[in-house]
Amino acid sequence: MLHLSRGITALNRGLFAAAKWLVYAIVLLMLWEVLSRYFLASPTSWAPELATLIFGPFFLLGGPYLLHLGGHVAVDIVSARATGNLATILRLVALLLAAAFGAILLWFAVPLAWQSFSYGETSYSAWNPIIWPAKFFLPLAALLLLLQALADAILVIADEEAA
């Protein structure tokens, strides 16, 4: 189980490392849009929309690894002061809530992504790209969040047993 937990964390770390580079693509797209609009007097219809479509995966793929790092916003008034078994229990409860959130999000996101794919959904803008690839990142991220929460719970239990 520990090997599987570390594998899930490594997968999420790798996806996080890859996704963080997407911000540079967004910056370049927006820079091109500004240059096109103000210096070439020829604004694009596609650059802002593509930047928006790239931002979804950038945002979503960082979440599962951020859960592992403890980087999400948290109200930890009680858990910051807790020690011993209480700290472990609070950490496990938080991870189980994160897993429940991931499972619920997955439950509702899969049909939406599948429907988008089935219909060949587009954005209905002037550029009109297909958007189902971007929508598939939501159930993927939900699954990865669920798996990371369970992996971290296994690591917390293993650390508690080792202590």
Encode the chain (163 residues) as per-residue pLDDT tens digits: 889 999 999 999 999 999 999 999 999 999 999 999 999 999 998 999 999 999 999 989 989 999 888 877 676 777 777 788 888 898 899 999 999 999 999 999 999 999 999 999 999 888 999 999 999 999 999 999 999 999 999 999 988 877 6
pLDDT of residue 75: 67
pLDDT of residue 88: 86
pLDDT of residue 144: 97
pLDDT of residue 2: 86
For the chain, report the end-to-end CA distance as a whole number of angstroms: 18
Token pair 């797209």 in the structure block, residue: 29
pLDDT of residue 163: 65
Quick one: tokens of 97?
């809530």
Quick one: tokens of 99?
């897993």
pLDDT of residue 159: 84
DSSP string covering 130-148: B-HHHHTHHHHHHHHHHHH
Identity (one letter) of the amino acid at 160? E
Structural domain that includes position 102: 2-162
pLDDT of residue 73: 67
**Nearest-angstrom CA–CA distance, 114 and 150:** 25
- By CB atoms closer than 10 A (0-12, 13-18, 19+), residue 13 is middle
Longest dimension (CA), the chain: 66
* Structural domain total, the chain: 1
**Nearest-angstrom CA–CA distance, 120 and 63:** 27
Quick one: tokens of 22?
């997407």
pLDDT of residue 35: 95
